[in-house]
Amino acid sequence: MTKLSPLQIERLKYQPKLPSSLQNGVNSLEMVEGAPTQSVRDQEQIRNLFSHTYGKPTVTFKSSTSSSSEVRNVGVILSGGQAPGGHNVIAGLYDALKSANPQNKLYGFLGGPSGIIDGKYVEFTDEFIDAYRNTGGFDIIGSGRTKLETEDQFQESLKVCQKLGISAVVIIGGDDSNTNAALLAEWFVKNNAGIQVIGCPKTIDGDLKNDQIEISFGFDTATKTYAELIGNIERDANSAKKYWHFVKIMGRSASHVALEAALQTQPNITLISEEVEAKQMSLDSIVSYMSDIIVKRAAAGKNFGIAIVPEGLIEFIPEMKSMIANLNDIMAELETDPSFLGATSMHDKFSIVERRLDDNNASVYSSLPAGIKAQLLADRDPHGNVQVSKIETEKLLIEMISSRLSELKSQGEYVGKFSAQSHFFGYEGRCAFPSNFDADYCYSLGYNAFALINFGLTGYLSSVRNLTKPASEWIAGGIPLTMMMNMEKRHGEMKPVIQKALVKLDGPVFKQLQDNREDWAMNDRYLFPGAIQYFGPSTVCDITTITLKLERSKELASV
């Protein structure tokens, strides 16, 4: 038998909390419809592409008298990057499904969306599910990033579902995975397949949100994990007083994770990609901004500090953004170009790329160190995204700042000593034991997903709101996936995708950083959040993120 850690043994016993509306099971619910919806942008194109699932109303659930429900087989997919709490979504879905009718079956597709195409699956049992309750990771069935979009893939998915008698599929994923869910839902309706598709909002990045989806699951646990690590580094820096620590923090595009981790730890420098873009800050001006703080701290005798760099920064620096967009188009062509594929050295590959890029973009590309140039050529993910986790922006900044400081030293404008350490926190947080918040939220999302299925809905995202209140007051319901969609360029073509929610520069969360960062730069106001606590006082164990609290308090104030 597998050996379990003491914490794992205790966490298996934790009973996640549910909103009161769901506490009597999905057979005791009434569905209340809201107003019809529109997509966030490009309404006409999205309506045309999703003519069978577009414009549906939002829904919420409230308790009602009990009824029976028909037998259903459901399939579930974990999709995209890992996020703490995925196992609890499946546990919640399983418990709801079995409580509605013990003959119901839940199948898990293996390895992400490819599992439904290739017919690779497992059937869940009580024993199977019980071993994964309240644990981190996606290892219960694995995950993947396969893009579902071709007729063949949809046909194969249909065959697999028909073979297993599956009438509903739940896709647990981020923006790209829920785009898959929307496309599959539309295709099933269009082809009278009789199979519903429901999404669940997952991603540590925290960029899958709107008024109805207050936060994606995993953000809470991941940010707390990174904040613990940053706090520890701050204490180390403040003890040794000899290093500048440059910490790149995950979040492929939006800087929510970096911002939340910064608010929890109060480092000396925090870059926010959205601000860099809005202020049109070039790489050079970012280097000047950071060097300036380093020089001032050195003048005050402080040759140490902590700088937070969001993972997606590079794509928000204007000259880089333009070059990467140009590069993405070229990469789509180069994938089949014999001279590029046959090039034997990286140097030759760089030359081919530079010849193809527009003049300005070519000079930006050629100015970069070879390591970064090579990282920018790495394969795009199946959804056409640059794999920013592989681009060492923190090291690029250290290199550039180091040479800037040498220049300043030679001019007598810098008196300090710059010794830097680089870190990348991303994978460390994606599979942590879910915090109490994520354990409860995920279980509720999964439970609620089955309620949406039971009411015959398709093309909906499971929504659980009012999250800063106790779980019993959370509001369960659903929103149409098409409501979050717009058109964006992917692999060189315009495609319908779920729009990412970026950091709002006029919002309360960014304002909190803005109001404090000058103070934090010079005066060491480090905060040490420590490890996530699972047992103990509620003031420590059940608190959620600063982001959610600030965003919700602003919304509540405006009601």
Residues belonging to the active site = 205
Residue (204 or 281) nearer to ligand FBP, CB? 204
Residue (83 or 96) nearer to ligand FBP, CB? 83
Contact flag: residue 388 with ligand FBP (CB under 6 A)? yes
* Candidate residues 250, 451, 453, 502; the one interacting with ligand FBP per rule CB under 6 A: 250
Shortest reach from residue 347's CB to ligand FBP, in Å: 27
Residue (250 or 290) nearer to ligand FBP, CB? 250
**What is the CB-side half-sphere exposure of residue 96 using CA atoms within 13 A?**
29
**473 to 512: interface string for ligand FBP, x by CB under 6 A:** ----------------------------------------
**Which of these ranges, 103-111, 247-255, 410-418, 467-475, lies near ligand FBP under the rule CB under 6 A?**
247-255
Residues 6+ apart with CB under 8 A from 502: 207, 253, 254, 255, 274
Name the one residue in this structure whose structure tokens are 């003049």. 359
Got the DSSP string for 395-426?
A: HHHHHHHHHHHHHHHHTT---S---EEEEEES
Among 35, 26, 47, smallest CA distance to 168 is for 26
**Which of these ranges, 41-49, 159-167, 244-252, 438-446, lies near ligand FBP under the rule CB under 6 A?**
244-252
**Which of these ranges, 10-18, 245-253, 395-403, 441-449, lies near ligand FBP under the rule CB under 6 A?**
245-253
Between the alpha carbon of residue 206 and those of residues 69, 333, 401, 532, the distances in Å are: 35, 32, 30, 18
**Which of these ranges, 14-22, 75-83, 295-303, 514-522, lies near ligand FBP under the rule CB under 6 A?**
75-83
Which run of H or E residues covers position 522?
A: helix 508-522
The CA distance from 546 to 413, in Å, is: 38
Shortest reach from residue 389's CB to ligand FBP, in Å: 4
Shortest reach from residue 42's CB to ligand FBP, in Å: 21
| Site for ligand FBP, residues 529 to 548, rule: CB under 6 A | none
Shortest reach from residue 475's CB to ligand FBP, in Å: 24
Shortest reach from residue 256's CB to ligand FBP, in Å: 10
Contact flag: residue 389 with ligand FBP (CB under 6 A)? yes
| Site for ligand FBP, residues 83 to 142, rule: CB under 6 A | 83
Shortest reach from residue 83's CB to ligand FBP, in Å: 6
Contact flag: residue 394 with ligand FBP (CB under 6 A)? no
Shortest reach from residue 311's CB to ligand FBP, in Å: 6
Write out the two tokens for 185. 């839902």
Write out the two tokens for 18. 């549910």
Indicate the pairing of strand 121-123 with strand 105-109: antiparallel
Contact flag: residue 203 with ligand FBP (CB under 6 A)? yes
The CA distance from 543 to 554, in Å, is: 18
* Candidate residues 92, 197, 200, 205; the one interacting with ligand FBP per rule CB under 6 A: 205
Residue (302 or 490) nearer to ligand FBP, CB? 490
Triad 24, 26, 28: Cα angle to 5°: 60
Contact flag: residue 223 with ligand FBP (CB under 6 A)? no
Write out the two tokens for 209. 């949100």
The 3-state DSSP class for residue 345 equals coil
Which run of H or E residues covers position 119?
A: none
| Site for ligand FBP, residues 264 to 283, rule: CB under 6 A | none
**Which of these ranges, 15-23, 160-168, 182-190, 246-254, lies near ligand FBP under the rule CB under 6 A?**
246-254
- What type of residue is 272? I
Cβ pair 84, 221 in contact under 8 A = yes
Shortest reach from residue 536's CB to ligand FBP, in Å: 29
The CA distance from 286 to 365, in Å, is: 17
Among 396, 370, 209, smallest CA distance to 313 is for 396
Residue (249 or 353) nearer to ligand FBP, CB? 249
For residue 352, count CB atoms less than 10 angstroms from its CB and return exposed for 0-12, middle for 13-18, buried for 19 or more: middle
Residue (176 or 275) nearer to ligand FBP, CB? 176
Shortest reach from residue 181's CB to ligand FBP, in Å: 13
The CA distance from 98 to 450, in Å, is: 10
Number of residues this chain uses to bind ligand FBP (CB under 6 A): 14
Contact flag: residue 422 with ligand FBP (CB under 6 A)? no
Cβ pair 11, 135 in contact under 8 A = yes
The CA distance from 512 to 256, in Å, is: 13
* Candidate residues 19, 81, 86, 144; the one interacting with ligand FBP per rule CB under 6 A: 81
**Which of these ranges, 34-42, 124-132, 203-211, 465-473, lies near ligand FBP under the rule CB under 6 A?**
203-211
Q: What is the DSSP letter of 202?
A: B
Contact flag: residue 310 with ligand FBP (CB under 6 A)? no
Shortest reach from residue 430's CB to ligand FBP, in Å: 6
Shortest reach from residue 216's CB to ligand FBP, in Å: 8
Among 391, 362, 388, 396, smallest CA distance to 284 is for 396
Between the alpha carbon of residue 335 and those of residues 44, 339, 493, the distances in Å are: 33, 10, 15
* Candidate residues 228, 311, 315, 394; the one interacting with ligand FBP per rule CB under 6 A: 311
Strands (E), 45-157: 57-63, 73-78, 105-109, 121-123
Cβ pair 92, 444 in contact under 8 A = yes
Contact flag: residue 252 with ligand FBP (CB under 6 A)? yes
Give the bridge partners for 488, in sequence order: 495
Residue (31 or 378) nearer to ligand FBP, CB? 378
Contact flag: residue 251 with ligand FBP (CB under 6 A)? yes
| Site for ligand FBP, residues 172 to 201, rule: CB under 6 A | 174
Contact flag: residue 349 with ligand FBP (CB under 6 A)? no
Residue (148 or 161) nearer to ligand FBP, CB? 148
Cβ pair 446, 1 in contact under 8 A = no
Among 174, 20, 60, 106, smallest CA distance to 457 is for 60
Between the alpha carbon of residue 368 and those of residues 354, 378, 536, the distances in Å are: 12, 15, 50
What does the binding site for ligand FBP look like in residue numbers (CB under 6 A)? 80-81, 83, 174, 203-205, 250-252, 311, 388-389, 430
